[in-house]
Structure 1
Amino acid sequence: REEEEEEGAGSQGGLYETIAGHWVRVLQCRQRCVGDMATRPGRSFPVPDFLPSQLRRLHEAHAQVGNLSQAVENVLSVLLFYPEDEPAKKALNEYQAQLGEPRPGLGPREDIQRFILRSLGEKRQLYYAMEHLGASFQDPDPWTPAAVIPEALREKLREDQEKRPWDHEPPQPKPLTHWKDVLLLEGVTLTQDARQLNGSERVVLDGLLTPAECGVLLQLAKDAAEAGARSGYRGRRSPHTPHERFEGLTVLKAAQLAQAGAVGSQGAKLLLEVSERVRTLTQAYFSPEKPLHLSFTHLVCRSAIEGEQDQRMDLSHPVHADNCVLDPDTGECWREPPAYTYRDYSGLLYLNDDFHGGDLFFTQPNALTVTAQVRPRCGRLVAFSSGGENPHGVWAVTRGRRCALALWHTWAPEHREQEWTEAKELLKEPEEEEE
């Protein structure tokens, strides 16, 4: 009988744990509802602080069209989330002054009051389950009052909530002695490392091309443009700004034009050789233990259109990241289509500097605060990791023609550039083929 009683107590304990576990999952699901609603199509993360941000927009919109009662309701609802929000308090005072006499019954929206009461009740239960039952819960809301969170959990949760992808400590820049150890090309110098560029996984190297080699590649770009090779773009206008012309040439198109006699074979071969030169150096500097493959190589020239530069305010290339979709409003960068998510490192090898504007610049994730700027020159390579830690853009080219070799590298061999291999085959000398 004692054994039966012990067995019954054990089964009861298991039943209680099952019920508690089920209820915790229900509460977790309810807490995720707002996040699911706030996640835009094609995104992986919700718009942060969704409900308060919508209420702010609503009270401002109602005020603009003269619906002051609704403006008061919505701004009071904002204050339910953030009682000390100074802009909301100021707006409330302005609306009440315009309304004149106090209006009884004018308060926060009832649906918002009900939502907050229910949500706080759910949070209290979940935090209790975290503290006493070992349950997991990531609070999706920055407005949760500190009093709701058990003191033992507050510090850890605050750190988790404030963490962002770019907050992790960046890799330490490689010392110059290390770079000398992996230096593979005579004459290449380290001009700026990540620390000097105020970021992580960035470097500026000089001396990758001689002036003569820059001249050969510039002539290749010019000859290809005259032959009508503008790969990937219709017409002559840049896809990024109406004030510039954009010409692009891939390695395969260069090889095909060389085979047809439209451009010199020397330039097409040099394009292949230089792209491999950049890949080798990029791998040596950033990824010595993991092979990098070229995923795309593009010789691009941007030319200012005369007569269209007055009071110009746009960029030659807007701020972006190369393997994720940058959202400056949130500072997030989603590694998902339409971004080229397989790109791991990027490189820009410049061919000239006889133009106005056109400097490369890096920004913080807000796409506004410039952290570093690099002036193009013949043989200068700017290489960097392709993710959200390196948002970058190009200042407007206001005079002249700016040419550079843009290269992207990947760790994924299945995404290596097939056209590069095809171009190499096309450019083989007859005696090489016989051998």
Structure 2
Amino acid sequence: MKTSKASQRRTAKSTSQQGESSKPASTSTSASADPQTSLFSFRRIFMRIVFIAVTMYIVRNKFGNQLTTLVAVDTETEKATFDVICSDDYETRFRGCNPVHCKRVVMDGLFTMEEIEQLKRIADKGMALGGSTGGPTVLDLHSGAVSKGGKFINVYKVAELQGMSPVFTDEDYSLYKSVKDVIKHLIVSEFDVDPSHLYLTKPTFFSRITALPAKTIHDEYWHPHVDKVTYGSFSYTSLLYLSDYQKDFQGGRFVFLDSDNNKTVEPRSGRLSFFTSGSENTHFVERVRSGTRFALTVAFTCDKKHAIDDPQPR
């Protein structure tokens, strides 16, 4: 990592920790959630995706197949910013946190390849206890929910029942928190947000997508959607890619739907993409045609009632 980026990360951690200290002690984490509760929560999210899919399908067809590449996989960029006009999706009661200017930001080189590989190992360890039979597998480190077949199980409870050692190490949780802190600091800085009013929210999760055909409607990840509608609590969305487009998988590009033409950010290991979560950033992920696509989604909310704590070693 370059010295300037390392310095930036140290500043990020310090700034983010100050913001986190303002979280109320009563804010509870989803890590202790019952597996059935987690399953219900994820099913509800998927049904929201399906609910808006028809409308977004029409929008997608209207814009056709024209595609502009915003940032290519073979282009390393320190920072690329793309302004968009904000939608009316943001509640006025969250002044000081809601975006005044909406945009998409892409940055490379924030994390070392060793850190990216460790994040991928975290995903592998959790998903080894589950695994979807069609397309995407999702792991939520907070609740322990992981896809298994057509349902979700709790990796923490599975490990406990089987008398296994803890699935994740203290170093895993520490890296996860460090990455989250860096992302939060960048969002705070880029969107001029009061850090004491910005909270980590759920679902924040690892995803692994393969070319396996969808078995259920829940496996159809490629439908266009709006994060603020699909997940409810999202104000700012970030994606940290853990694999490379074309090298590790084919298809699987992240595509924004715009009025002129569609625009894509090609996944690259260590690439961070973050943006406002309203309908100004309607998007979808192309179907993965071959290989395996890994990513980490980290989301933030302006609504304190949807805040979650960092996951704790279990």
TM range (shorter): 0.5 to 0.7
Is the aligned partner of 1:303 residue 2:192?
no
Mapped to 1, the partners of 2:261 and 2:226 lie a distance apart of: 14
Aligned-partner residue type, residue 242 of structure 2 = L
Q: 2:179 aligns with which of 267, 274, 278?
A: 274
CA positional deviation for 1:293: 0.9
Aligned-partner residue type, residue 262 of structure 1 = V
Q: Aligned with 1:274: secondary structure?
A: helix
Q: For residues 401 and 188 of structure 1, do their structure 2 counterparts lie closer, same or farther at Cα, with a shift above 3 Å needed?
A: same
| Pairwise CA RMSD | 3.3
CA offsets per residue over residues 389-418 of structure 1, 9 Å max, x none?
110000111111111111221111221114
> Percent identity of the aligned residues?
27
Aligned-partner residue type, residue 203 of structure 1 = V
Q: 2:78 aligns with which of 181, 189, 192?
A: 189
Mapped to 2, the partners of 1:387 and 1:260 lie a distance apart of: 41
Is the aligned partner of 1:401 residue 2:292?
yes
1:227/1:262 contact within 8 Å kept: no
The worse-fitting range, judged by mean Cα deviation, of 268-277 and 294-303 is 268-277
Q: For residues 271 and 349 of structure 1, do their structure 2 counterparts lie closer, same or farther at Cα, with a shift above 3 Å needed?
A: same
Q: Which residue of 2 aligns with 1:293?
A: 199
* Ranges in structure 2 where 5+ consecutive residues have no aligned partner: 1-50, 56-75, 85-100, 146-154
Mapped to 1, the partners of 2:141 and 2:77 lie a distance apart of: 25
Q: For residues 192 and 264 of structure 1, do their structure 2 counterparts lie closer, same or farther at Cα, with a shift above 3 Å needed?
A: same
1:210/1:378 contact within 8 Å kept: no
Q: Aligned with 1:250: secondary structure?
A: coil
Q: Which residue of 1 aligns with 2:254?
A: 360
Q: Which residue of 1 aligns with 2:112?
A: 210
TM-score (normalised: structure 2): 0.56
Mapped to 2, the partners of 1:283 and 1:396 lie a distance apart of: 32
CA positional deviation for 1:347: 0.8
Q: Aligned with 2:119: secondary structure?
A: helix
TM-score (normalised: structure 1): 0.42
If you compute each CA radius of gyration, which structure gives the higher value, 1 or 2? 1
2:127/2:137 contact within 8 Å kept: no
Aligned-partner residue type, residue 277 of structure 1 = V
Q: For residues 372 and 200 of structure 1, do their structure 2 counterparts lie closer, same or farther at Cα, with a shift above 3 Å needed?
A: farther
Mapped to 1, the partners of 2:273 and 2:165 lie a distance apart of: 33
Q: For residues 287 and 293 of structure 1, do their structure 2 counterparts lie closer, same or farther at Cα, with a shift above 3 Å needed?
A: farther
CA offsets per residue over residues 167-202 of structure 1, 9 Å max, x none?
xxxxxxxxxxxxxxxxxxxx992134337xxx9421
Q: Which residue of 1 aligns with 2:276?
A: 385
Higher percent of residues as strand: 2
Q: 2:167 aligns with which of 254, 257, 262?
A: 262
Is the aligned partner of 1:372 residue 2:277?
no
1:191/1:206 contact within 8 Å kept: no
1:208/1:379 contact within 8 Å kept: yes
Q: Which residue of 2 aligns with 1:413?
A: 304
* Ranges in structure 1 where 5+ consecutive residues have no aligned partner: 1-42, 48-186, 231-235, 325-338, 428-435
2:249/2:291 contact within 8 Å kept: yes
Q: Aligned with 2:187: secondary structure?
A: helix
Aligned-partner residue type, residue 199 of structure 2 = H
Q: 2:125 aligns with which of 199, 214, 223?
A: 223
Q: Aligned with 2:232: secondary structure?
A: coil
CA offsets per residue over residues 22-47 of structure 1, 9 Å max, x none?
xxxxxxxxxxxxxxxxxxxxx9xxx9
